[in-house]
Amino acid sequence: MGALVVLGTTNSDLCPVAALLDYLALRGQIPGALFCLEDGRPLKRRVFTASVQQALTSSGLIGTQFNGHSFRIGAATTASAVGLPDSTIKSLGRWSSDAFQGYIRPSPEDLVGVAGLLASKEPSP
């Protein structure tokens, strides 16, 4: 099933439009799925995940810590951290419920002050 994805230019090294244009130049005009293998077969999720895990491991990271939801976690967390409204985060991740909130991870900086805040509160009577 297809999905409409809206991309915007960022004029940075992480520009999604530039990356997609570079990919399309390599991919060529093969009909079919946008993301495909060199022989034209659609790229399956498990193949993509295994490839990312292998690349992470090759770069010295622990590739097995990555899974298929890692991009959703990263996108929801980053969107929240930069202050995007919940409705926009839901739309970006194509969530129809508030399940996206379970994907948002607090930063260590956010967690550092929690103990002090909790210790400063008086218990309710």
What was the pLDDT predicted at 111? 86
Partners of 36 in the beta sheet? Answer: 42
pLDDT confidence of residue 39? 86
Enter the tokens of residue 24: 């399309």
Q: DSSP assignment of 18-37, as one string? A: HHHHHHHHHH-S--S-SSB-
pLDDT tens for the 125 residues of the chain, in order: 677 888 999 989 999 999 999 999 999 888 888 999 888 899 999 999 999 999 999 999 999 999 988 999 999 999 999 999 999 999 988 898 999 999 999 888 888 888 888 888 776 66
- Residue 123: what pLDDT? 67
3-state secondary structure of 42: strand
Q: The tokens of 118 are what? A: 């909790």
Give pLDDT, residue 105.
Answer: 92
Q: Are 66 and 56 in contact (CB under 8 A)?
A: yes
- Give the pLDDT score at 64: 93
Q: What pLDDT is stored for residue 5 in this prediction?
A: 84
pLDDT at 125: 64
Rounded distance, CA 91 to CA 107, Å? 23
* Domain ranges, ordered by start, for the chain: 68-120
